[in-house]
Amino acid sequence: MGVSNHYRHVKVHEYETTHRDILRASTDELIARGYAQILEEDELKVLAQYHYEKFRNFMAPLFRDKDQDIEDVVSSEITIQMPPIELPASKK
């Protein structure tokens, strides 16, 4: 996997190198691929987070300190923040 394979529809180098902007690049990439047409907004956010982490893991070896093992900089899981749900009054 290379940068051009991971971001095929957006120019990731035009985004700031912050978590927020690279996550936005991932979201924009997925929207350009057509995922927004089939996923709900919260599902798209989860997929964008996965896309971001996958890219971050790919890039991690380039930015780790010499004394760090690769396992220390590569993430193996993501946390999904579920949206609050509104239960009907009869279910509370």
pLDDT per residue of the chain (92 residues) written in tens, 0 to 9: 667 788 999 999 999 989 899 999 999 999 999 999 999 999 999 999 999 999 888 888 777 777 777 777 777 887 887 778 887 776 65
- pLDDT attached to residue 8: 93
pLDDT for the residue 57: 85
Six token digits for residue 52:
């971001």
- Residue 55 amino acid letter: F
Residue 6 confidence (pLDDT): 86
pLDDT at 31: 97
Rounded Cα–Cα distance for residues 67 and 81 (Å)? 33
Q: What is the pLDDT of residue 87?
A: 79
